[in-house]
Amino acid sequence: MSDLMKVTIDGITVEVAPGTSILNAARQIGGDIVPPAMCYYSKLEGSGGKCRTCIVKVTKGSEKDPRPMPKLVASCRTTVMDGMEVQNITSPEVLEARSGVVEILLINHPLDCPICDQAGECDLQNLGYEHGLQKTRYEFERRTFERIDIGDKIQLHMNRCILCYRCVFTADQITNRRVHGILNRGDHSEISTYIQTAVDNDFSGNVIDVCPVGALTDRTFRFKNRVWFTKPVDAHRNCDHEKCTGKVTLWYKGEDVLRVTARKDQFGEVESFICNTCRFEKKATSDWTIEQPTVIPDTSVIASNHYETFKPLPVIKENLALQQANKVELEKSTKF
Amino acid sequence: MGRKLLLEHINVPGIHTLDIYRQKGGYRAVEKALKSLTPDEVVEEVKKSGLRGRGGAGFPTGMKWSFLAKPEGVPRYLVCNADESEPGTFKDRFLMTYIPHALIEGMIVSSFALGANTSYIYVRGEMMPQIRILEKAIAEAKAAGLLGQNILGSGYNLELYVQPGGGAYICGEETALLESLEGKRGNPRIKPPFPAIAGLYGCPTVVNNVESIAAVVPIINDGGDEYAKIGIGRSTGTKLISASGNLVKPGVYEIELGLPVEEFIYSDEYCGGIANGKRLKATVAGGSSVPILPANLTLKLANGEPRLMSYESLSEGGFATGTMLGSGGFIAFDEDQCIVRNTWNFSRFYHHESCGQCSPCREGTGWLEKVLHRLEYGHGKMSDIDLLVDVSKKIEGNTICPLGDAAAWPVASAIRHFRDEFEWHVNEPVKSQTSNYGLANYAVPIEKQVEEVKSQS
């Protein structure tokens, strides 16, 4: 056990393998102390460090060098050191800086949640709800782009994009041919395909799943339904595509499968990427073997009134600061 | 007269040619280093000299060199950062235009010290004439056996390439420069790993400013100890200052570090005072990204001591009353200049040059620019001033590369020192429109503010 690194996040100590990032160490602890991540995606190499929502404060660098780090660091790209002490939700400085990042992410966002297909499962929406201000201080015209159809299955709605680069990494690493990138720079940068060529390969649909906001949406599902009216069900089929596992989530409305997505874990990351045939073509119950209702984390509005409830960790019951930070959730969990 | 090391022979006709440069003692450092010194001894000399990076951050060059990882069988690279695009800085362009061989000589010695057999000079895309000058100079040096295989019979090989950039400010950030040099989009990398461990093509790389590399030549010629005698404290040697703005004689000056700022501005040897007999209002001491200072704090420290041109003295007092030496882009503003307009102009630059990779800088620089534009054109509100401070705080320190800080500091410092002028823009929207175009009467309320601070200090 000697090669494990001991790291303390918000007073909770965990031992992790060397080379683990602070974010992944926090995910091993779980609960409210996990920093939000908009651009980091554990399955995509090189992702992270861009959105700055996962910033944390390192109050003690390591056992050897106990100096605190001078700036807030991006937890997704900072590796842990032995004896490191990190503050996330217990540090007012972090929370303030994070709400600043959220405000900045939202200044050019159209805030069209009422007509956005991602609403209900949108990371930015959750983040805005937790940290955002109720009123924006930005009084200028927001940046707008034309909507672009990338092929007949995917639509790019650049106005909503937060430039997390996840889809670029997906197109680079998961699909065969790179057809996807960033044009221009600064706040005019936009995700684009090569002169609007259709994205055409077997795994292109995964860019919809990795998108943390509603910038890349499934054209077969557009405006069909709100996600919280649909019922997610885990299912699988024997997909003949060599790289596709065929493990998916079906989203039912009554008897109809409205859409098919990859299964997502509690941090909103897909468990395995699925092929376009599974995603876009197989929309009948007879195509699938149903397993069970999908477990939806209680952070999601899809779970409103059912599924998981908040289970406070033992340490939260002991630590006053954490109790204060989790006050709302604790009240909710004791109400019923 | 201060000592000149880099610009000693700048007025010699034909100094840009190899023959004249050698007649004036050029390439002595190459001969000395390659024939009589080991690479480690060269690094040791640079360390002894106390030379600090001339690109802006002021990190000791010798220390940077000694951090370079030296794994077996992996090539090492030296990259010269000639992507000089900071508003107010033009010293590297001057050096490359008039004495290109100083840079090439420095590149040979530095590459030898680092064990690099391939080195690059990454030149900003707009500097086409300088690229041609450098290429011509490299061809001359190659013909004379100073570059290529077995230089001067020492067995050391070096290929030197000039790479034009695409004209992006962000590519002056060392990791963005390396990305660009590799042919990718010029986005800064997330550090660690630092370039000294994994830089160009994943190999250990040192990135140095043009002036730092050129300064290696006098260090090797005269010895590191001799170089360290020039200057003051930990600011050793000479520095090129690009003076611009409302000065009688703007231009590139080589100063010994430790020269009083007052002497630099008013002495006939240097800038010769403020043009047209006007009074100094403010200065930006080290290129657009360092905090702006009012005239009184430029000339004197907060405690009344004279301020010197050195890394330490300029940053004395932190950001409350100090600034930074930065890259040496000295901009002087006379009493007719509008600080709000200038701040907006700087902001516009950073908005335009942000790479768009991380969110605070991408969105925040645009926000700053829009609010400042509103203030400048007389549509501002009093709450905008606090909003600017708040937004700049949210950008500062939360970004991948220092461009976010560079965008936030000028705004925060302008409001810190010139808040009266911002408020005046809000209170007098019509009047501020006419005086923006050079009418002198608006200097009156500003002058009062400067005097106020004077009496406090």
> Which string of DSSP letters, residue by residue, matches A183-209?
ES-GGG-EEEEGGGPPP-STTTTHHHH
Residue position matching structure tokens 């599902």: A221
Between B170, B351, B364, which is nearest A104 by CB? B364
A235, A288 in Cβ contact below 8 A? yes
Query: What is the pLDDT at residue A182?
Result: 87
- Interchain pair A187, B354: CB under 8 A: yes
- Give CA angle at A173 (A167, A176), nearest 5°: 105
A192, B185 in Cβ contact below 8 A? no
Q: Pick the closest to residue A32 from A131, A166, A163 (CA basis).
A: A131
Per-residue confidence at B439, pLDDT binned at 50, 70, 90? very low
Q: What is the pTM of this model?
A: 0.88
Cis peptide before B192 (omega within 30 of 0): yes
pLDDT in tens, B213-268: 999 999 999 999 999 999 988 899 999 999 999 999 999 999 999 999 989 999 99
Pick the more confident residue, A92 or A334: A92
B118-123 and B77-82 as β-strands: parallel, antiparallel, unpaired? Answer: parallel
Sign of CA dihedral B289, B295, B298, B302: negative
Q: Pick the closest to residue B53 from B328, B291, B248 (CA basis).
A: B328
d(C-alpha B422, C-alpha A27), whole Å: 46
Per-residue confidence at B349, pLDDT binned at 50, 70, 90? very high
Instruction: Kindly tell me if the per-residue pLDDT of B19 is higher than 80.
Output: yes
Token pair belonging to A330: 């604790």
Query: What is the pLDDT at residue A294?
Result: 87
Q: What amino acid is encoded at A93 in this protein?
A: E
Cis peptide before B71 (omega within 30 of 0): no
Q: Does A163 touch chain B (CB under 8 A)?
A: yes
Contact list, B397 vs chain A (CB under 8 Å):
71-72
B146, B27 in Cβ contact below 8 A? yes
Q: Does A97 touch chain B (CB under 8 A)?
A: yes
A156, A207 in Cβ contact below 8 A? no
Contact list, B403 vs chain A (CB under 8 Å):
none
Query: What is the pLDDT at residue B435?
Result: 66
**Strand, helix or coil for residue A321:** helix
Instruction: Kindly tell me if the per-residue pLDDT of A145 is higher than 60.
Output: yes
Token pair belonging to B85: 């695009």
Would you call B9 exposed, middle or buried from its count of C-beta atoms within 10 A (0-12, 13-18, 19+)? Answer: middle
For chain B, give the mean pLDDT: 89
Residue range B292-319: average pLDDT? 85
Between B185, B387, B394, which is nearest A100 by CB? B394
Query: What is the pLDDT at residue B449?
Result: 42
Q: How far apart, in Å, are the Cα atoms of B158 and each of A169, B147, B174, B195?
A: 37, 6, 22, 20
Token pair belonging to B220: 């090797």
pLDDT in tens, B38-76: 999 999 999 999 999 998 888 999 999 999 988 888 999
d(C-alpha B456, C-alpha B157), whole Å: 61
A5-9 and A12-16 as β-strands: parallel, antiparallel, unpaired? Answer: antiparallel
Between B352, B353, B398, which is nearest A101 by CB? B398
Instruction: Kindly tell me if the per-residue pLDDT of B447 is higher than 60.
Output: no
Q: How many inter-chain contacts (A to B, CB under 8 Å) are there? A: 88
Query: What is the pLDDT at residue A225?
Result: 87
Question: What's CA B75's distance to the chain center, in Å?
Answer: 29
DSSP string covering A44-94, please?
STT--SSS-TTEEEEEE--SS--PPPSS-EEGGG-B--TTEEEESTT-HHH
Contact list, B370 vs chain A (CB under 8 Å):
140
| Bridge partner residues of B253 (DSSP) | B241
Measured in angstroms, the CA of A279 and the nearest CA of chain B are apart by 30
Query: What is the pLDDT at residue A196?
Result: 59
Residue position matching structure tokens 């201080």: A137
* Interface predicted TM-score (ipTM) of this complex, two decimals: 0.85
Residue range B115-143: average pLDDT? 94
**Strand, helix or coil for residue A149:** strand
Per-residue confidence at B389, pLDDT binned at 50, 70, 90? very high
Token pair belonging to B259: 């020269």
Comparing A76-85, A173-182, A309-318, B33-42, the range with the smallest average pLDDT is A309-318
Nearest CA in chain B to A106: B363
Token pair belonging to A91: 């540090």
Comparing A128-137, A307-316, B83-92, B353-362, the range with the smallest average pLDDT is A307-316
Instruction: Kindly tell me if the per-residue pLDDT of B450 is higher than 50.
Output: no
A55-60 and A73-74 as β-strands: parallel, antiparallel, unpaired? Answer: antiparallel
d(C-alpha B295, C-alpha B332), whole Å: 9
Residue position matching structure tokens 């069970």: A292
Instruction: Kindly tell me if the per-residue pLDDT of B96 is higher than 90.
Output: yes
d(C-alpha A254, C-alpha A250), whole Å: 12
**Strand, helix or coil for residue B418:** helix
Instruction: Kindly tell me if the per-residue pLDDT of B437 is higher than 50.
Output: no
Nearest CA in chain B to A69: B397
- Interchain pair A187, B170: CB under 8 A: no
Q: Pick the closest to residue A99 from B291, A18, A91, B59 (CA basis).
A: A91
Token pair belonging to B72: 């077996």
Site from B170, B189, B359 to mutate, A interface, most A CB atoms within 10 angstroms: B359
Q: Does A333 touch chain B (CB under 8 A)?
A: no
Instruction: Kindly tell me if the per-residue pLDDT of B178 is higher than 90.
Output: yes
Q: Does A52 touch chain B (CB under 8 A)?
A: yes
Contact list, B385 vs chain A (CB under 8 Å):
none
Query: What is the pLDDT at residue A10?
Result: 92
- Interchain pair B367, A101: CB under 8 A: no
B107, B78 in Cβ contact below 8 A? yes
Q: How far apart, in Å, are the Cα atoms of A63 and each of A18, A60, A80, B273?
A: 14, 8, 11, 55
- Interchain pair B398, A55: CB under 8 A: yes
Q: Pick the closest to residue B82 from B64, B106, B60, B65 (CA basis).
A: B106
Length of chain A: 336
d(C-alpha B95, C-alpha A3), whole Å: 52
Pick the more confident residue, B210 or A294: B210
B196, B70 in Cβ contact below 8 A? no
Query: What is the pLDDT at residue A261?
Result: 93
| Bridge partner residues of A233 (DSSP) | A250, A293
Pick the more confident residue, A278 or A300: A278
Between A52, A140, A165, which is nearest B360 by CB? A52
d(C-alpha A207, C-alpha A38), whole Å: 14
The conformation of residue A277, written as its DSSP 8-state character, comes to: I
- Give CA angle at B158 (B157, B160), nearest 5°: 165
Contact list, A100 vs chain B (CB under 8 Å):
360, 393-394, 398
DSSP string covering A231-271, please?
EEEEEE----STT---EEEEEEETTEEEEEEE-B-TTS-BS
pLDDT in tens, A237-271: 998 888 888 899 999 988 899 999 999 888 888 99
Residue range B122-132: average pLDDT? 93
Query: What is the pLDDT at residue A309?
Result: 53
Pick the more confident residue, B217 or A180: B217
DSSP string covering B40-58, please?
HHHHHHHHHHT-B-TTTT-
Length of chain B: 457
Contact list, A58 vs chain B (CB under 8 Å):
none
Per-residue confidence at B161, pLDDT binned at 50, 70, 90? very high
pLDDT exceeding 90 applies to what percent of chain A?
38
DSSP string covering B79-94, please?
EEEE----TT--HHHH
Residue range A171-178: average pLDDT? 76
